Structure 1
Amino acid sequence: MKSKSESYDRLAYCLKRKPVITSLVNKEELPTILQSTSNIVFVLKADIFSIEPIVEQIREAGKLSFIHFDLIDGIGKDKMGVAYMAEKIGIDGIVTTKSSIISEGKKHGLMTIQRLFVFDSVSLDNGIKITQSSQPDAIEVLPGMVCTRIIKRIHDELDVPVIAGGLMVDLSDLELALKSGAIGISTSSKELWDWQDANVSPT
């Protein structure tokens, strides 16, 4: 199993100069994502039949595949489902809202990212407590544009990398998120994919 520092270093290395994580929502966008310069792909929509060839193509393109475990149709949301994705499909990491899935992912050496939806101070406090218990390798905070004001607090209290996701559509969103302390953003915005392909770093 990878240590926390090893997983953090790998994520930090991938995001340092390529902070835009491409999010695959429609399979028709996969060729564009494969040709992009992103180091990490979040697969947000797939099913038990399509996931293996998607992951294989991402791997062949030299990118890391992170599967939004909660949204993959036909895969059990339990320890056997995690084992199948890790051992049979060969994913690099998982994104999930569930602490139990984070724990199972670690057992299989996967990089783990816990999704937190923050709507108010109560959801923020609860999210911090949950993450303190599950200890993922990174946190994805949604909606990213709204949460830029609290990213620093989350990072300081939990000492884990923070990724901003949701409602990240243009360069100003990316710059604000990074200035707020995020290590990167996840987005399905082709505008930001194109920007990253033409640039090295926004900072």
Structure 2
Amino acid sequence: MNSRHKRPMDRRLLAALAEHPVMASLVGVEMAERFTSSTATPLGILASIPLGDLAATVGLTVEAGKIGFVNIDSTPGLGHDPGALAYLQGIGAVGICSTRQAMIERATGLGLLTMQKVFVTDRSNLRRSLQSITRSQPDLVQVMPAMVLRHVERQIREVGVPCLAAGFVQSADDVVAALKHGAVGVCTSDEELWDLRRSSLRAS
């Protein structure tokens, strides 16, 4: 694995995933508030948070001891320039999620955690995605949809970046399937899955 995955926050992130294989996909302020007030997974992606509410929502996430990635592609008004990353740093965000290689690379340079989202629709799309991940070297890659992971497991593993499966993760069986095919976890907005622990999945 690339040496940049040995940063202290990376170790905290991967240690959390070792016990909590489910990362909460949080759409909107209300869902984010339920996440920060719960004892479920400590990992989440903040999406579709209005810019006016973003600082307060990030603050709640940090205060709750959670690790939150801000999806900059779905934050209205945030933009995709260096100023957006500076703003996120200023409000205490620890990580970003984006499909854009340039934003991942800039965020890495600023010391933010990074998650690159890729949509795999066919072989040519997979090839471009793998090339982008190889160049940007994010902390995590989010592969969508989840069911495609079994077809691209080998290629993703060869890139050397831990991956999460997302999209249509609706049951514990879906989580188990993703882990079986090499994912370190999944992303889902299904709140019933947020409490899952890796130990309980092994037991079942």
TM-score, normalised relative to structure 1:
0.91
1:30 CA drift (Å): 2.6
Query: Structure 1 58/100 Cα, relative in aligned 2: closer, same or farther at 3 Å?
Result: same
Q: Distance in 2 between matches of 1:23 and 1:97?
A: 16
Partner of residue 102 from structure 1, selected from 104, 113, 121: 104
Aligned sequence identity (%): 32
Query: Structure 1 9/152 Cα, relative in aligned 2: closer, same or farther at 3 Å?
Result: farther
How many residue pairs get aligned? The number is 198
Partner of residue 140 from structure 1, selected from 139, 142, 156: 142
Letter in 2 for 1:29: M
Structure 1 spans left out of the alignment, 5+ residues: none
Partner of residue 131 from structure 1, selected from 119, 130, 133: 133
Structure 2 spans left out of the alignment, 5+ residues: none
Provide runs of 4+ in structure 1 moved above 6 Å: none
**1:2-39 C-alpha deviation (Å, 9 max, x unpaired):** 94322542321110000100111132223331213212
Aligned CA RMSD, in angstroms, stands at 1.8
Aligned to 1:37: 40
Query: Does structure 2 conserve the Cα–Cα contact (< 8 Å) formed by 1:18 and 1:201?
Result: no
Aligned to 2:51: 48
TM-score, normalised relative to structure 2:
0.90
126-135 or 5-14, which deviates more: 5-14
Aligned to 2:189: 188
Letter in 2 for 1:172: D
**1:127-157 C-alpha deviation (Å, 9 max, x unpaired):** 00111111111110001123333234212x2
Partner of residue 84 from structure 1, selected from 81, 87, 91: 87
Q: Distance in 2 between matches of 1:168 and 1:127?
A: 21
Q: How does 1:15-26 map to 2 (within 5 A)?
A: 15-26=17-28
Q: Distance in 2 between matches of 1:68 and 1:5?
A: 23
Query: Does structure 1 conserve the Cα–Cα contact (< 8 Å) formed by 2:149 and 2:181?
Result: no
1:200 CA drift (Å): 4.3
Query: Structure 1 20/133 Cα, relative in aligned 2: closer, same or farther at 3 Å?
Result: same
1:60 CA drift (Å): 1.2
